[in-house]
Structure formats: structure tokens, C-alpha cells
Amino acid sequence: MAAILGISCFYHDAAAALVVDGSLVAAVQEERLSRLKHDARLPRLAVQACLRRAGLPARALDAVVYYEDPFRKVERVLTWLLRSFPRSARHFPRAVAAQLGSKLWVLDRVAELVGVDRSKVTSTTHHESHAASAFLVSPFEDAAILTVDGVGEDVTTAIHHGRGERIEHLGAQHYPHSVGLLYAAVTAYLGFVVNEGEQKVMGLTAFGQPRFREEFERMVSIASDGSFELAPRYFCYEAGGELGFSRAFEALLGPRRARSAPWRLDDSEADRRYADVAASLQSVTEEILLGPARRARRLTGADALCLAGGVALNAVANRRLLREAGFSRVFVQPAAGDAGGALGAALLGAIAAGDPRPPPMTGAATGEAISIDEALALAARLGLTTERLAQPERRVAELVATGNIVGLCSGRFEWGPRALGQRSLLASPSLLASRERLNRVVKRREPFQPFAPAVLADDAPAWFGDEPNDMTPFMTGVCDVRPEFRAALCAVTHVGGSARLQSVRSETTPLLAGILTQLQDLTGVPVALNTSLNGAGEPIVGSAADAIAFLTSHAIGGLLIEDCLLTRRN
Ligand SMILES: [Fe+2]
């Protein structure tokens, strides 16, 4: 029986996770508490939150596990810098300083941050952490595990076989051959910020045709054994590598898109062309992923697949793997990206200490709870109207059905990048005007970014094809909206008829489930538009103070914190 803290940081999305006696006590992404989006620093606040939740002092921890091997990572970066010398000369001093400055001594800094003896701090490897983060909380006893990202220490794609508490490594693809880096290069080429704009690229793909497949096939070769290679001349990661693509890449696909130019898919030929590039990227990404996924199926003989790594946040590709890679079930836990590494590291530490694996993850509410007392005190100070409701679900459903945008805070905040009913903004799935207003007053998104629906799990099959599956509780897959309901669900149906569905159960998300039940009763549609509760460019709300700050700066119809409805007086 042991208390194990897992930590991921220093790349993007720092996080901490605490497993005590084999149970997941808390998993917290630093940005929710520090309010700095994609905060990659040592997760000081997340560590404190985990320990607070368990009621444990740091000295009670048996081990602290860092999610990757800092020494192997430094070795890879330095090797590649030297290999591309003298082209890399300009970047050499900065890269070396970054590696030697923070990364090499990371385990010492972790010990200092947490307040434990250095001898208690160990590390695992990046893709082992990803693999554990998916399999050990999955509903499967036996599963293939495919992890795909930009790059860990030097691995970019790995296949593992999970059985019970054991995870066996079966194969890997190495840097620089990387699906994540290919996706990142095109993200930068399209004028988006890398590690943030990938979801926008995914939204854009539905507006284009994959007519640049041939060009992409010159950049990526896919072998019959499921492995793939990127042609180095189109990419540049070490020498002048901020953008990740080379002049040859632009010669092949045309000049890059300007970063700040507003998108005009209706009347700009150039923008439609960029949408075609995005669609081609998505298509080739799916083709690449099918290779290792089918290989994983052959090697393991397993019927189920677990996915992790940043690329596993590509919900459209995940559906393709579910349909075509030979597995009957696919599971993706909500923090599939690097934040999830903290969870995997903690679980690996727990298994190593002889503890059992935890029960399957069914909900994502692993963060800090909202404080109604804090909310009431703040609301009084700011002169907000508060109303304790006997039937909060009914009132919110009435507000949503009549075209209002309503904030929803309930219980502990979510793990991963999606709002899943703990810190959400809800709107009508049937009113395009609500969606427009949501975009105008809150989100300020690109016009091609879709909004997602939340639906009662039991009602999902009636409204959506591909019944609720192991991904839909966490919005990590997509489903088709049944054609006869696309008009009723016009605000949450993407071009082409798909939706990144969340299936909701009252056991894990009671307040949202209650609201959906009331919406069914009022409108006949058990669905709500569910998007994250945050202003443009901000992390999703964590505390009551964050939620109230949001309410006071955005024109929404109200904010429900547990049973208390808060509104602005004017
Ligand atoms: Fe990763």
C-alpha cells in the first residue's frame, strides 16, 4: 500500500496526479489553478491540490515519479543538434541552455518542489507513461496500446500490450519520424500556434477536400509493415525549427498562411485551398495511424485498443481506428496529451509498489471542488443576484431552451482539455442564434470550429449513429448525427454531419444529466450544446472566483454553481 505522486512538466500542459493504495485520489492540470494556459512549469499548485485532497503531507509520499527520462531526452536533443551542425549553430546555445538549465536537473527540482528526499524521486519513460495513462484506467483486462505524439525522449509512436497490471513494450518508431510533428508543421503552416491550433486544423478539415494527398505522399512514406518515414527535406526541427517546415515544404504546398489574417472560407479561394491542405493532412494522418494500429492488433491479438499521446486527441482519426483497425472497442482517457503523463507515471509507481490498478475511469472530475461558500461571499461583495434553487436543473433547462447561454459549475473540475459538465457553458443545440452569440460574446473562435453536444447516454443511440462507446464519455471520439435530427441539432452538427459527442450519465455528472432530462421534457431534445467555461485564450475555469470573474465579464444568462443561480443585476 503506497502513496505515489506522478508529475509531468517542462514541455506543455504540466500536471500532477496522486494514487493512494491503488486508487486515483486526484489528477490536476496546473493551468486550471495558475490560470496560465498550457502552463508547463513545475506544477506547484497541482501538487498542493493533490496532497490537500488526500489529506496527506508530502513526507507521507512513498515515491514521486516523473513522466519521462530527462537524461535520454537531453541525449536526443544534443545528438540531433550535433548531427545538423553547422546548420544548427544559431540555435545551439539556446537549446543547450534549455536542456542543461531545467531538464537535466529536473528530478532534483521535483524533489525540492514536492518537499521529499531526492531518493524518493524516480522517472519512467514518456511513452510508458502515456501507455499506462490509457490502459490502467481503461475498462479492459487485455488491450493493445498505441501511443502517438510529437516526440517523447526519442520515441514518437509506441505499441504496448496491456494485460492485467502488466504493460509489455512491443515496438516503437523514433524521431524524427513523427505524426505529431507532421501535424504540428502543418498547424504552423496554416498560421496557427503549435500545440494549441491542432484542434482548429481538425475543425478546418471538414471544409476541404483531400486533393493534396499526392504532395503529402512525397513527404511521408508508409511501409507495408505499418511503419512510416518523413522525408527530412520538407521539415526542419533543429535548425531554424520554430515552424517545423522547410522551404521545400512551401515549394510543394504553396506559401504559408499569414498568422493573424481572418478566415474567409466563403469567398477566399486561398482559404479554401488551405482547408484542402488541412483535409489532406487529416487523411494522411489517419492512413499513417492505421498502420501501427493494425500492427498492434496483429502483435497482441487483443480485441480492444487504448490510445494516448497528443495525437489521440484527434477525435476524427480515433473513429477511423475504431472502424478500420480491427478492434471492437477503443478507449481514450480525457487527458490523452502530455498532462496525462502524470497519471500514467503515478499508476506505474503504484503498480511497482505492489498496489492493484484502479477501477476503470468513468468520469473526469478529478480536480478541485467548487466552493459554494466562496461563491456566495464573492457574489455578495460584487452585488450579484443569487438564488438558491430547489430545482436548479429545471431552471437551467428553461434558460437554455429560451436561447440563453448558461455557465455550469458542479463538483470537482475536469481532467484534460474538455469541459464535461463540471465547468461548462451550455446553450441550445437547436438555435443557431445562441451559437452565434456564444461565438460573438464569449469564444471568438474561427467560424469553422464546431461546438459539441452533450446527450443523455441512454438517449444517444436514438439521436446519433455509432452508439455511445468508450470514447464518448470524454469527447475523445466523434459520432454521426442521424440525418433526420440534423435540423434539430443544427448548432452542434459539424459540416458533413458529425459531432464530437459527450454521452452523459447521472452517476458521474448528475447536474448535467438532470439538465438534459429537463431539456428532454421541455423541448423533446435531450441534448445541450456543451462548451468549455472560459473566455477566449484562457484556461477553463477552476474555482468559484474564476467562474464569477467570467460571469462579470461576459454577457451570459446566468451561472449555476451547484444549486445557486448567479446573475448580474443589469
Ligand atoms: Fe507526449
- Closest among 17, 293, 28, 40 to 136, alpha carbons compared: 17
Residue 153 sits at φ, ψ, to 5 deg, of -65, -60
- The residue type found at 560 is L
Instruction: Tell me: pLDDT of 255 over 50.
Output: yes
Give the percent of the chain with pLDDT over 70: 94
Given pLDDT bands bounded at 50, 70 and 90, which one contains residue 196? confident
What separation in Å is there between the alpha carbon of 195 and the centre of ligand 1?
Answer: 11
What separation in Å is there between the alpha carbon of 73 and the centre of ligand 1?
Answer: 12
Q: CA-to-CA distance for 474 and 139, rounded, in angstroms?
A: 14
pLDDT of residue 240: 45
What separation in Å is there between the alpha carbon of 194 and the centre of ligand 1?
Answer: 14
Instruction: Tell me: pLDDT of 356 over 60.
Output: yes
Nearest-5° angle of CA 76, CA 241, CA 155?
Answer: 30
What separation in Å is there between the alpha carbon of 339 and the centre of ligand 1?
Answer: 8
pLDDT of residue 70: 86
The alpha helices in 117-224, defined as continuous H runs, are: 126-135, 179-189, 198-205, 213-219
3-state secondary structure 218-267: HHEEECCCCCEEECHHHEECCCCCCCEECHHHHHHHCCCCCCCCCCCCCC
What separation in Å is there between the alpha carbon of 340 and the centre of ligand 1?
Answer: 9
What separation in Å is there between the alpha carbon of 548 and the centre of ligand 1?
Answer: 33
What separation in Å is there between the alpha carbon of 149 and the centre of ligand 1?
Answer: 5
* DSSP H or E run through 377: helix 372-382
Q: Taking a C-beta distance cutoff of 8 angstroms, is the pair 558, 389 a contact?
A: no
What separation in Å is there between the alpha carbon of 477 and the centre of ligand 1?
Answer: 19
What separation in Å is there between the alpha carbon of 49 and the centre of ligand 1?
Answer: 23
Number of other CB atoms surrounding residue 385 within 10 Å? 11
What separation in Å is there between the alpha carbon of 12 and the centre of ligand 1?
Answer: 9
Across all residues in the chain, what is the average pLDDT? 92
Cis peptide, bond prior to residue 539, ω within 30 of zero: no
What separation in Å is there between the alpha carbon of 345 and the centre of ligand 1?
Answer: 12
What separation in Å is there between the alpha carbon of 557 and the centre of ligand 1?
Answer: 39
What separation in Å is there between the alpha carbon of 518 and the centre of ligand 1?
Answer: 40
C-alpha cell of residue 551: 460571469
DSSP 8-state assignment for residue 410: -
What separation in Å is there between the alpha carbon of 336 and the centre of ligand 1?
Answer: 9
What separation in Å is there between the alpha carbon of 318 and the centre of ligand 1?
Answer: 17
Rounded average pLDDT over 94-107? 68
3-state secondary structure 83-118: HCCCCCHHHHHHHHHHHHHHHCCHHHHHHHHHCCCH
Q: CA-to-CA distance for 189 and 174, rounded, in angstroms?
A: 23
Q: Taking a C-beta distance cutoff of 8 angstroms, is the pair 544, 371 a contact?
A: yes
Given pLDDT bands bounded at 50, 70 and 90, which one contains residue 94? low
What separation in Å is there between the alpha carbon of 457 and the centre of ligand 1?
Answer: 30
Number of other CB atoms surrounding residue 528 within 10 Å? 31
What separation in Å is there between the alpha carbon of 184 and the centre of ligand 1?
Answer: 13
What separation in Å is there between the alpha carbon of 122 and the centre of ligand 1?
Answer: 18
What separation in Å is there between the alpha carbon of 488 and the centre of ligand 1?
Answer: 38
Residues ≥6 apart with Cβ < 8 Å to 136: 162, 165, 167, 344, 347, 348, 351, 357, 358
Q: CA-to-CA distance for 280 and 205, rounded, in angstroms?
A: 8
3-state secondary structure 172-193: EEECCCCHHHHHHHHHHHCCCC
Number of other CB atoms surrounding residue 316 within 10 Å? 19
Q: CA-to-CA distance for 158 and 309, rounded, in angstroms?
A: 10
Q: pTM value? A: 0.94
- Closest among 37, 199, 194, 196 to 538, alpha carbons compared: 37
Instruction: Tell me: pLDDT of 80 over 80.
Output: no
List the shell of residues around ion ligand 1, using CB closer than 5 Å.
Answer: 149, 338
pLDDT of residue 277: 97
Instruction: Tell me: pLDDT of 347 over 50.
Output: yes
What separation in Å is there between the alpha carbon of 248 and the centre of ligand 1?
Answer: 27
Higher pLDDT, 416 or 96: 416
What pLDDT, in 10s, does the model give residues 361-402? 999 999 999 999 999 999 999 999 999 999 999 999 999 999
Q: CA-to-CA distance for 96 and 74, rounded, in angstroms?
A: 9
Given pLDDT bands bounded at 50, 70 and 90, which one contains residue 239? very low
Rounded average pLDDT over 37-41? 94
Instruction: Tell me: pLDDT of 86 over 60.
Output: no
Q: CA-to-CA distance for 10 and 13, rounded, in angstroms?
A: 8
Between 134-148, 233-247, 266-280, 456-470, the lowest mean confidence (pLDDT) is in: 233-247
What separation in Å is there between the alpha carbon of 245 and the centre of ligand 1?
Answer: 20
Given pLDDT bands bounded at 50, 70 and 90, which one contains residue 101? low
Nearest-5° angle of CA 281, CA 132, CA 288?
Answer: 20
What separation in Å is there between the alpha carbon of 127 and the centre of ligand 1?
Answer: 7
What separation in Å is there between the alpha carbon of 338 and the centre of ligand 1?
Answer: 5
Residues ≥6 apart with Cβ < 8 Å to 4: 18, 19, 20, 61, 62, 63, 64, 65, 346, 349, 350, 353, 355
Instruction: Tell me: pLDDT of 85 over 70.
Output: no
What separation in Å is there between the alpha carbon of 316 and the centre of ligand 1?
Answer: 19
What separation in Å is there between the alpha carbon of 311 and the centre of ligand 1?
Answer: 9
Q: CA-to-CA distance for 253 and 466, rounded, in angstroms?
A: 35
pLDDT of residue 45: 98
Distant-in-sequence contacts of 197-201, Cβ < 8 A, 24+ apart = 198/310, 198/313, 198/314, 199/313, 199/449, 200/446, 200/448, 200/449, 201/278, 201/281, 201/282
What separation in Å is there between the alpha carbon of 293 and the centre of ligand 1?
Answer: 17
- Per-position b or e across 340-361, b if 16+ CB within 10 A of its CB: bbbbbbbbbbbbebebebbeeb
Beta strands 479-480 and 304-308: pairing type? unpaired
- The residue type found at 62 is D
Cis peptide, bond prior to residue 70, ω within 30 of zero: no
Number of other CB atoms surrounding residue 176 within 10 Å? 17
What separation in Å is there between the alpha carbon of 178 and the centre of ligand 1?
Answer: 11
Between 80-89, 259-268, 427-436, the lowest mean confidence (pLDDT) is in: 80-89
pLDDT of residue 91: 63
- Closest among 526, 531, 534, 532 to 506, alpha carbons compared: 526
Strand partners, 304: 329
Rounded average pLDDT over 515-536? 96
What separation in Å is there between the alpha carbon of 177 and the centre of ligand 1?
Answer: 14
Q: Helix (H, G, I), strand (E, B), or coil: what is residue 75? A: helix
DSSP string, 504-541: E-TTT-HHHHHHHHHHHHHHS--EEEEEES--TTSPPP
C-alpha cell of residue 411: 463538483
What separation in Å is there between the alpha carbon of 454 and the centre of ligand 1?
Answer: 28
DSSP 8-state assignment for residue 355: P
What pLDDT, in 10s, does the model give residues 152-168? 888 999 999 999 999 99
